[in-house]
Amino acid sequence: MTPKILIIGACGQIGSELTHKLRSIHGKDNVIASDISYNNLDIVNSGTFEILDAQDYTSVKICIDKHQINTVYLMAAMLSATGEKYPLKAWDLNMDSLFHVLNLAKEGFIKKLFWPSSIAVFGPTTPKENTPQYTIMEPSTVYGITKQVGERWCEYYHNQYGVDVRSIRYPGIISWKTLPGGGTTDYAVEIYHKAIADNKYECFLSEETELPMMFMDDAIKATLDIMDAKPEAIKIRSSYNLSAVSFTPKDMTQSIQKHLPDFTISYKPDFRQKIADSWPKSIDDSNAREDWSWKHSFSLDDITNEMLTNLKKKEVETN
């Protein structure tokens, strides 16, 4: 099947990089970017772009018909921090959009579907160290609840209707090309921007808050790896644990100081501390490594080097 790909939420942190990567592999004409608004001009101007409301079934179906789409990446969602400010909007956006693509897949309009889950499916009663694939899951955020329920529906549509939906539980993702929006792990991106701009950062999480994290290139690799795997290799149709590195704001500070010795950090935890405290510190992703040969590449120091180098280069180019 020659992939004809639609990315829903293509202007976002992951969606934008997924769009560029998939276009470099399959050609621009085979990858249609879409989002609710023109809020990423790089994406809007780099190939076919459609304004698309992921909560409008008819619009999604028309877009799929118009471009003869067979593969969909649903990257639109309201993340953990914003979701706590607008719980019912988060539920509606995250669930309506998933049901629309699952039903379009059930009806045969989508042959292969990617839907991102998150370590946010775990909650305060989940074992925090090396969290297993199968364990207690009592998420305490609306975002986490939508991801937990979404996983169950993905598995149900696969088992009942043969839908080829694949999913991974992303950790916090760090990138320099597009800012994240409304996540609890956003501090891990902000810190690099502030290090370059001000040589100091006020962190909204406490010093010892350890969270699972991943560089964007690793996240994109994992997404493509699971989508390229043979169907029989995908033994988990809810969502796979995925991991790379775990670290604290203190660890990040020490890594940044290897490049910027005078960089300083202060701590002013806010409502996002309670969210972060409900999540695991580290993840066991052995199932992904066994089933479809997942392997991460970037360490914390690699991430710091990539982020500082590219943000400095971007600053020079835009000034």
Q: Could you say which of 171, 239, 285, 296 contacts ligand VAH (CB under 6 A)? A: 171
Nearer CB in complex with ligand VAH: 143/192? 143
Part in contact with ligand VAH (CB under 6 A); list of ranges 101-109, 170-178, 243-251, 289-297: 170-178
Question: In whole angstroms, how close is the CB of 290 to ligand VAH at the nearest point?
Answer: 23
Nearer CB in complex with ligand VAH: 72/81? 81
Residues in contact with ligand VAH, counted by CB under 6 A, come to a total of: 13
170 catalytic per annotation = no
* Contact predicate 167/151, CB 8 Å: yes
* Contact predicate 308/256, CB 8 Å: yes
d(CA 183, CA 32): 26
Half-sphere exposure of 203 (CA within 13 A, CB side): 26
Nearer CB in complex with ligand VAH: 6/90? 90
Part in contact with ligand VAH (CB under 6 A); list of ranges 177-185, 200-208, 258-266, 307-315: 177-185
Q: Could you say which of 167, 184, 241, 255 contacts ligand VAH (CB under 6 A)? A: 184
Question: In whole angstroms, how close is the CB of 57 to ligand VAH at the nearest point?
Answer: 25
Q: Could you say which of 15, 150, 172, 280 contacts ligand VAH (CB under 6 A)? A: 172
Query: Which of 38, 86, 143, 170 is labelled catalytic?
Result: 143
Q: Is residue 183 part of the contact set for ligand VAH (CB under 6 A)?
A: yes
Question: In whole angstroms, how close is the CB of 181 to ligand VAH at the nearest point?
Answer: 9
Q: Is residue 163 part of the contact set for ligand VAH (CB under 6 A)?
A: no
Return the residue nearest ligand VAH (CB atom): 183
x/- binding map, residues 52-81, to ligand VAH, per CB under 6 A?
A: ---------------------------xx-
Q: Could you say which of 49, 143, 201, 247 contacts ligand VAH (CB under 6 A)? A: 143
Q: Which of residues 108-137 bind ligand VAH (CB under 6 A)?
A: 118-120
Question: In whole angstroms, how close is the CB of 116 to ligand VAH at the nearest point?
Answer: 8
DSSP letter for each residue of the chain: ----EEEETTTSHHHHHHHHHHHHHH-GGGEEEEESS---HHHHTSS-EEE--TT-HHHHHHHHHHTT--EEEE-----HHHHHHSHHHHHHHHHHHHHHHHHHHHTTS-SEEE--EEGGG--TTS--SSB-SSS-----SHHHHHHHHHHHHHHHHHHHH---EE-EEE-EEE-SSS---S-GGGHHHHHHHHHHHHSEEEESS-TT--EEEEEHHHHHHHHHHHHHS-GGG---SS-EE--SEEE-HHHHHHHHHTT-TT-EEEE---THHHHHHTS-SSB--HHHHHHH-------HHHHHHHHHHHHHHHHHHH-
Q: Could you say which of 170, 187, 240, 247 contacts ligand VAH (CB under 6 A)? A: 170
Task: Label the pairing between strands 211-215 and 245-247.
Answer: antiparallel
Catalytic residues: 143
Q: Which residues are at the interface with ligand VAH (CB under 6 A)?
A: 79-80, 118-120, 143, 170-172, 180, 183-185
